[in-house]
Amino acid sequence: MDCLQWLADAEVRVTDLPLRQSLLLCGAPVANLAVVGDCDLTTAGLGVAPSRAAGMIQLLTEPAEVHGLRGWFEELWRRSALVEANPLEAALRDATASFCSVEVYRRSLASLFTDMMSGDEVLPDRRLGLENSRVWQMLYRFQRDGVLGAIGKLRQWGGCIIADSVGLGKTFEALAVIKYHELRNERVLVLAPKRLRENWTLWTRNDVRNALAADRFAFDVLRRCGQWPAPPFHLAEGRLDR
């Protein structure tokens, strides 16, 4: 509340010039000093909260240096426009407002998973060209996330289960995983029930019904009929087994 009261009484101006560094000036009754560098007005910038960002902050105590920076700041302040509604006060009121539990949960998720929601997929081995394949381009964002998760688990643990609900495209996700391994020149064997053997074989044919013919899938398809030697990995409908 003390900070909010201080901001309510403060005069705020906005400049059109891009400021590439921050400046904090302190005068009487505090010692005359200046702090310059990456010290933006955030908890991380002020050093209150930890941050992974590396920055340079410099403390100046020489009167001549502080005087020069004060003159630059006053000139910049004079040329800047005064704002009637204090944006800092509004931001602080929003940050300290009371929210229902659902809103707190939503904001927590947004804070934790902002990077994942940015829209940029992090593909392993980008040089393989998986993002240029037809099957990858047909996938929705949530399906791409599933494919990346499956590839990561296969690489780390040697197995993965794709267990999305009916109609969410598990087959296409599995085909994208297959394409990734084929681009790595690995052999893939698809194990499917007899009634689904033709469905999976179609993806390897140059057929007008095959929307992914341009990807030239080359995996083998076997129906379940007993035991056989294990290939590099088995891909069954809805399950990946080592």
Q: What is the pLDDT of residue 224?
A: 59
Question: Do 22 and 76 belong together in one domain?
Answer: yes
Chain centre distance of CA 59: 35
Question: Do 77 and 140 belong together in one domain?
Answer: no
Which whole number is the average pLDDT over 98-110? Answer: 82
Question: Do 51 and 152 belong together in one domain?
Answer: no
Question: Do 94 and 135 belong together in one domain?
Answer: no
Cis preceding linkage at 29, omega within 30:
yes
Residue 172 domain-assigned (yes or no): yes
Closest alpha carbon to 186 in 116, 235, 121: 235
Tell me the two tokens of residue 69.
């920076």
Question: Do 130 and 85 belong together in one domain?
Answer: no
Question: Do 144 and 227 belong together in one domain?
Answer: yes
pTM for the whole thing?
Answer: 0.47
How many domains does the chain fold into?
2
Question: Do 134 and 216 belong together in one domain?
Answer: yes
Residue 107 domain-assigned (yes or no): no
Confidence tier at 215 by pLDDT (50, 70, 90): very high
Chain centre distance of CA 193: 38
Question: Do 172 and 87 belong together in one domain?
Answer: no
CA angle 129, 130, 136 (to 5 degrees): 140
The kind and range of the H/E element at 199 are helix 197-202
Which whole number is the average pLDDT over 52-57? Answer: 76
As a residue count, the chain comes to: 242
Sign (positive or negative) of CA dihedral 32, 38, 40, 46: negative
pLDDT in tens, 93-103: 777 778 788 88
Residue 112 domain-assigned (yes or no): no
Confidence tier at 134 by pLDDT (50, 70, 90): very high
Q: Residue 19 belongs to what domain range?
A: 2-99
pLDDT in tens, 186-206: 999 999 888 888 899 999 999
CB half-sphere exposure, 180, CA atoms < 13 A: 21
Residue 66 domain-assigned (yes or no): yes
d(CA 192, CA 219) in angstroms, rounded, equals 13
How large a percentage of the chain has pLDDT more than 90?
Answer: 21
Which whole number is the average pLDDT over 148-173? Answer: 89
Residue 121 domain-assigned (yes or no): no
d(CA 216, CA 218) in angstroms, rounded, equals 6
Question: Do 86 and 136 belong together in one domain?
Answer: no
Last residue of a domain, one of 99, 118, 144: 99
Q: What is the pLDDT of residue 133?
A: 93
d(CA 223, CA 228) in angstroms, rounded, equals 11
Residue 114 domain-assigned (yes or no): no
Residue 85 domain-assigned (yes or no): yes
Residue 212 domain-assigned (yes or no): yes
Q: What is the pLDDT of residue 172?
A: 94
pLDDT of 124 > 50? The answer is yes
Question: Do 19 and 87 belong together in one domain?
Answer: yes
- C-alpha distance across the termini of the chain, in Å: 59
Question: Do 11 and 50 belong together in one domain?
Answer: yes
Q: What is the pLDDT of residue 238?
A: 47
Question: Do 7 and 92 belong together in one domain?
Answer: yes
